[in-house]
Structures are given as structure tokens and as C-alpha cells.
Chain A
């Protein structure tokens, strides 16, 4: 819709065909760009359809509506939309029991469906001890709604998610990551159900007990469970990307609840992700990627040859965007011991991930066009699956996390990673001491 608005602002009447289920999304996008009334013709073509007969029928059915949208005189509201008033919500938005608060927040569309911790003044004040920034400091405005990500609003959503105050520096840096990436709003709203995947690096990971080892991305650790959750709540409550209103993910993605790992720097033989991206090892950092899928494979063999062959053998042509190889420290060590660097692994994947010669012919599919419209990679005119491009010069990443084992994995999809250094408050050591011992103590049975 952004192009339609740009064109209208340039003085040219415009009409846009859009799938009838996407009208809310289209109107929210238009409104966020200052044009709350745009002319959209709803049609019945589902997203990404390639069925020409369906498209023919659908456009024929509404073509006269498109003509009318370009020729029918404007209404008063279309000529001059009424200005919006400044929002002035009460500071205390609700009073009630735990159950009432949860019901109220859920019904307002402010939660992810799980129960929340009530964000009281006291709880938010405690959360704010995790940063030296003032509560009213606007970290960024988040597209598409341009909601102000104030430190206090970040803290409120963090309380709701169950975060500890020591996560605030990561959440603030995470919000900056969301703002840095110009397409992250589109990723969060996309039919492709892309999910933010947050990788934590540096000393902060141990300070907050962010899990880097066994089951790093499974439930069970407050940090991993709530940091992603809080950033997911922020996506709703700041960006204004809500399910089936603006977030039109078709299948959905469980990663949107919380998908967080710390890199296993202690046992990784490779330079860590944040160092690779220009920061110092002593820095703490958070990296945002937006994969849509996650796959785990048992390797053909656990030596470097077997591991890398498994990667290549598992990449299929019907894919898009970034490819993140997920190695356990064991697998990473096997590769390193055989002389493989991270860069060499990346280069190997780019070079050897090719579409088998008879693949499309056997399937009866036209393989003449690049499949990955985001990066330009894909089958297209050559057999290369990955094609480094100006937009994505480094399409393969290697993350090392998890326990000691042979299973390997990858995450696929989305734009290049964004990394932000985490700024810690002055009394960080004291703060860490206060919260670091909050860990599960499992008893034997």
C-alpha cells in the first residue's frame, strides 16, 4: 500500500487490487502513512496464488470497481480526512483482580494469549532499575504504527512478559534492532509467518542466565522464554501488528511466542556472531534474524564431511531469504578440527547448494525464474540456490549453540541479520547480583 500512497501524494489517482482478507492490513498501512482513506478493490485471489484461471475470474469480476475507483468523484472525507486527536490515555488503564486484569488485557488485544503479570506502578518501577535511561526517553518510533517505544512502555511490556529487570538492556537493544531493519515490520506482518529469532552474545548472556546449551530454544529458562515474549508483545503494542489485522501470517509460527538463544561462546571454536559483525568479544549484543522455518537433521556423519554433506543435502530449492546453519559446539568443533573456518563453511554452502540438474524437469515445474524474490537467489537461470547480492551479500550465517550432540539444524528465511551492542547501566554488577540466582533447581525423583 505504501506505493499507492506515494503515488496519490504525487497527485495521481490510484487504485490497488488486494485480497479481500487483507483490507484491514491495507487500511492500517495506509493510515500509518497519513492517508486513512485509500481506494482498494477487494478481490478473491489468495496471497501468492499462481492459478491463472482464478486470477482471471477474480479480476474480471471486480474490474468495473477498479474503473470506478479511478473515476468516481471523491467524497468529502476522501478529499480532506478529519485530523486525528492526540491520544491521551489515562495512566492507570484498569483496576481489578489478577483474573480481571488478564481478561481486560486479553480482550483489548494486548497479549499473546498467555497470562500476563500485571504491570503495576511498583512492578514497572522495579523493571526500570534495569536501565539508566529515563522512563520517558523515546528509544525509537516503530513502524508501521509509529508507536513510541519509550523506556517505560518497554518496561511495561517486559513486566507483562515476566522479564527480570536485568533483561531491560537487551530489550532496548532489541527494539533498536527492530527499528534498524527497514523490512522487519513487513516480516512481522507477512503471510510467510516470519518469526524474530534473537541471538544473545557476550557477557550479558551468563549474567542473566540466558541459555546457550542443551535445549537453548526450548521452554524452561526465564531469559529465553520472556525476552522473545516481551519483544513479541512490543510488536503488537508499539508497532501495532496484530494477528489477522496486520499480521497476515497464513500458517503462523510458534517462534513468535519466544525464540531466543545465547550463542555457546564458551565451547564454540569460531568467532562469535557479534565479533563477526564488528563488535568486541567483551561487548554484549543481540542479533535479530527473521526466519520462517526451523529444521533439524541427523547428520550423515559427525565429521566435517558428513556434517557439510547433510547441510547441502537438506537445502531444497523452494526456499527464500537467509540461511542460518545451527551447529552444536560438538559439530562446530568437528568442522574446526578439520580446518574449516566459519567463512569457509559459508562459502562452501553458497558454492555447493545447487538445484539438481533434472529437478524441475522431473517435477514439471518452470525453473527459469529466480524463486527467491527477496535476495534474487534461487534456481532462476543458473542452478545456484544462494546468490550473494547487493541486498544480501552474505546469505548464509553460522550460529553455534546447544548442548553436546550430533543433531544439527537450520533456520531459513528473512532479511540479513541486524546486531546491536547492549548498553549496560552503571550499577550492572549490583543488579546482576540481585537477580542472577533466580534459576530453576530441579530435584531428583
Chain B
């Protein structure tokens, strides 16, 4: 294909990379001043390593911060917020009662 005949031909080529409009960027939420006495959400998706990871994290959390409370949310998919629209209210209600969240995606 790349014969000597082609080496003299100059190709002016267009970019295949599509443009994407910049989207509004948002910063992170303020952090908490410590985990003692806080309610920490444990969010796992449906990958099988996720709950095991969070079980370990929960145990370590309670060892280090005995007054911290925990609350689990088990997604049925990779992403509860984008794929489980029927659980949006349930998810939002769960978040309202929390000070911070530890998430595991199992990957």
C-alpha cells in the first residue's frame, strides 16, 4: 500500500477527533473536620469486590473511630445515579442523612 509512488503525494487530512463543548466544571464539596461521631455512607456498586472492600473499610473505620456510624447503599448496577432512575428518591434520601461517603466501584 505504501509504495514509492505514494511518497511524493502530499495528503492534507482532516481530524477524526470530534469536538466536545466545554461543560461547566464544579469543585468538590468541603471536607469534614474529622470522622469521629460522623455518619459515613458506604456505597457499593454491583461488582462483587465492592461489598467486600467496604466491609473491610467499615471495620477499620469503626476500629479507628468508634463513634462513627455507617450506612450502606447497595446499587443494583454499575451506577445507581445514572442507571437506576427508579431509585433516585431512595438514593437522595440516603445521602441526606450522611456526613461523608466512601464508595467502592469494585474495579
Q: Is A146 an interface residue (CB 8 A)?
A: yes
B11 to chain A, nearest CB (A): 4
Partner of A34, one of B18, B24, B43, B75: B24
Contact B103 A92 (CB under 8 A): no
Which residue on B lies nearest to A85, using beta carbons?
Answer: B22
Q: What size tier do the contact residues of chain B reach? A: 35 or more
Contact A17 B41 (CB under 8 A): no
Partner of B16, one of A59, A74, A119: A119
Q: For chains A and B in complex, what number of residue pairs have CB atoms within 8 angstroms?
A: 254
Contact A3 B20 (CB under 8 A): no
Contact A47 B81 (CB under 8 A): no
Contact A157 B16 (CB under 8 A): yes
Contact B25 A34 (CB under 8 A): yes
CA distance A90 to B19 in the complex (A): 11
Contact A91 B27 (CB under 8 A): no
Contact B107 A22 (CB under 8 A): yes
Contact A237 B18 (CB under 8 A): yes
Encode contact with A along B8-27: 1 for CB under 8 Å, 0 otherwise: 11111111111111111111
Q: Is A334 an interface residue (CB 8 A)?
A: no
A294 to chain B, nearest CB (A): 24
CA distance A6 to B81 in the complex (A): 7
Contact B78 A186 (CB under 8 A): yes
Contact A74 B57 (CB under 8 A): no
A116 to chain B, nearest CB (A): 9
Partner of A373, one of B2, B19, B46, B52: B46
Contact B79 A147 (CB under 8 A): no
Given A7-B43, A50-B48, A79-B27: A95 touches B16 (CB 8 Å cut-off): no
Which residue on A lies nearest to B25, using beta carbons?
Answer: A81
Q: Which of A19-49 contact B (CB under 8 A)?
A: 19, 22, 25-26, 34-39, 43, 45, 47-49
Which residue on B lies nearest to A238, using beta carbons?
Answer: B18
Partner of A147, one of B1, B19, B33, B60: B19
Encode contact with A along B85-107: 1 for CB under 8 Å, 0 otherwise: 00000001001001111111111
Contact B26 A34 (CB under 8 A): yes
B50 to chain A, nearest CB (A): 9
Contact A12 B20 (CB under 8 A): no
Q: Is A89 an interface residue (CB 8 A)?
A: yes
CA distance A149 to B17 in the complex (A): 10
Partner of A119, one of B7, B13, B28, B33: B13
Given A79-B27, A156-B14, A237-B18: A102 touches B2 (CB 8 Å cut-off): yes
CA distance A120 to B23 in the complex (A): 30
Contact B35 A89 (CB under 8 A): no
Contact A92 B98 (CB under 8 A): no
Which residue on B lies nearest to A17, using beta carbons?
Answer: B104
Partner of A8, one of B18, B28, B92, B106: B28
Contact B57 A63 (CB under 8 A): yes
Which residue on A lies nearest to B60, using beta carbons?
Answer: A63
Q: Which of B33-52 contact A (CB under 8 A)?
A: 33-35, 41, 43, 45-49, 52
Which residue on B lies nearest to A248, using beta carbons?
Answer: B107
Contact A17 B28 (CB under 8 A): no
Partner of B23, one of A6, A22, A34: A34
B18 to chain A, nearest CB (A): 4
A203 to chain B, nearest CB (A): 30
B65 to chain A, nearest CB (A): 8
Contact A2 B12 (CB under 8 A): no
Contact B16 A153 (CB under 8 A): yes
Q: Which of A50, A71, A89 has the most CB of B within 10 A?
A: A71
Chain A residues within 8 Å of B11, by CB? 95-98, 101, 118, 120
What would 9 more interface pairs be, CB under 8 Å, given A3-B79, A74-B28?
A10-B95, A16-B105, A63-B57, A66-B102, A74-B27, A78-B27, A84-B23, A96-B10, A121-B12
